[in-house]
């Protein structure tokens, strides 16, 4: 059995990351891999309820962080860890980097507290009880805030985060850049401002380079 593979997708709202997850899932499935597609906040019945609260109910940054990590813990227990134990590829739309970018950089919440919550929520779930679960790779769609804002303006009615001003997303974007600088081996930066086909080519090329996708993948 091949080992499980955990790939996350990150970027500010409007970065366009979600549109590439399905294409990547199909490429892995064409290679015979089982794929679990999921998202955060969400991925389980409980976590989806918490997602609805996070996106629509007013709350302070600490409450946001606690709800996000509560949802993440349930997501890891119920979905992510079992899938990885079965040798599946888990493709997750957002994970902990989003918490450091949105609640940490965007809201200005204490990063030290986020580190504590990260360790509490993500440790003790795998076969190695001391392992803190992190992605094997994080595909970061780096897009200028102005471009993302134009995309959001043409989309659905905004949720509580999407309705934030551009200054908030500037801080979030900087938060992602800081996370990428701390984990350069894990992060794959994608120029998300390019046309859709070129962005997809970047994603596939990066995963081929890591030996995870065959050259024949579209």
Distances (CA, A) of 20 to 33, 68, 167, 192, 204: 17, 24, 26, 11, 10
Task: Measure the CA–CA gap between 210 and 59, rounded to whole angstroms.
Answer: 40
> Residue 35: its pLDDT value, please?
98
What pLDDT is stored for residue 218 in this prediction?
45
CA distances from 180 to 11, 66, 174 (A): 11, 23, 10
Task: Please give the pLDDT value at position 162.
Answer: 84
Instruction: Tell me what the mean pLDDT of segment 203-212 comes to.
Output: 95
Asked whether the beta carbons of 6 and 186 are under 8 A apart, the reply is no
Instruction: Look at residue 173 and tell me whether its pLDDT is greater than 90.
Output: yes
Q: Give the lowest-confidence range in 82-91, 119-128, 177-186.
A: 119-128
pLDDT band with cut points at 50, 70 and 90 for residue 154: low
CA–CA dist 177, 207 (Å, integer): 20
- CATH number (3.40.50.720, 3.40.50.300, 3.30.70.20, 1.25.40.10) of 5-210 reads 3.40.50.300
pLDDT in tens, 11-39: 988 777 888 899 999 999 999 999 999 99
CB 121 within 8 A of CB 47: no
Confidence class of residue 156 from pLDDT cuts 50, 70 and 90? low
- Among 90-94, 109-113, 128-132, the minimum mean pLDDT is found in 128-132
Residues 6+ apart with CB under 8 A from 32: none
Closest CA to 166 of 180, 156, 151: 151
pLDDT for position 217? 43
Average pLDDT over residues 163-191: 95
Residues contributing to the annotated binding site for ATP: 11-18
User: Within 13 A of 138's CA, how many CA atoms are on the CB side?
Assistant: 22
Per-residue pLDDT, averaged over 176-204, amounts to: 94
Which residues carry a binding-site annotation? 11-18
Domain boundaries defined on the chain: 5-210
Compute the average pLDDT of residues 160-175.
92
Asked if pLDDT for residue 127 goes beyond 80, the answer is no
Cα–Cα distance for residue pair 176/209, rounded to 1 Å: 22
**Confidence (pTM):** 0.93
Does pLDDT of 157 surpass 80? no
Average per-residue pLDDT in the chain? 92
Beta strand residue intervals within 57-157, DSSP E: 89-93, 137-142
CA atoms within 13 A on the CB side of 108: 2
Place of tokens 């890591």: 210
């Amino acid at each position: 059995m091949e080992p499980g593979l955990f790939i996350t997708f990150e970027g500010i709202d409007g970065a366009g990351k979600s549109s590439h997850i399905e294409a990547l899932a199909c490429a892995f499935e064409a290679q015979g891999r089982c794929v679990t597609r999921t998202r955060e906040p969400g991925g389980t019945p409980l976590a989806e309820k918490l997602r609805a609260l996070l996106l629509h109910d007013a709350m302070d940054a600490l409450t946001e962080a606690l709800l996000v990590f509560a949802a993440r813990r349930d997501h890891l227990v119920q979905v992510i860890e079992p899938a990885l134990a079965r040798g599946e590829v888990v493709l997750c739309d957002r994970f902990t980097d989003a918490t450091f970018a949105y609640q940490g950089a965007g809201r200005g919440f204490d990063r030290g507290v986020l580190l504590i919550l990260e360790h509490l929520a993500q440790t003790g779930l795998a076969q190695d009880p001391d392992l803190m679960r992190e992605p094997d790779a994080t595909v970061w769609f780096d897009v200028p805030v102005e471009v993302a804002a134009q995309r959001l303006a043409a989309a659905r009615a905004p949720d509580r985060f999407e309705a934030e001003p551009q200054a908030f997303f500037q801080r979030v974007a900087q938060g992602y850049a800081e996370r990428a600088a701390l984990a350069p081996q894990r992060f794959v930066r994608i120029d998300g401002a390019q046309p859709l086909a070129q962005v997809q080519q970047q994603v596939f090329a990066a995963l081929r380079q890591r030996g995870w996708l065959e050259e024949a993948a579209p």
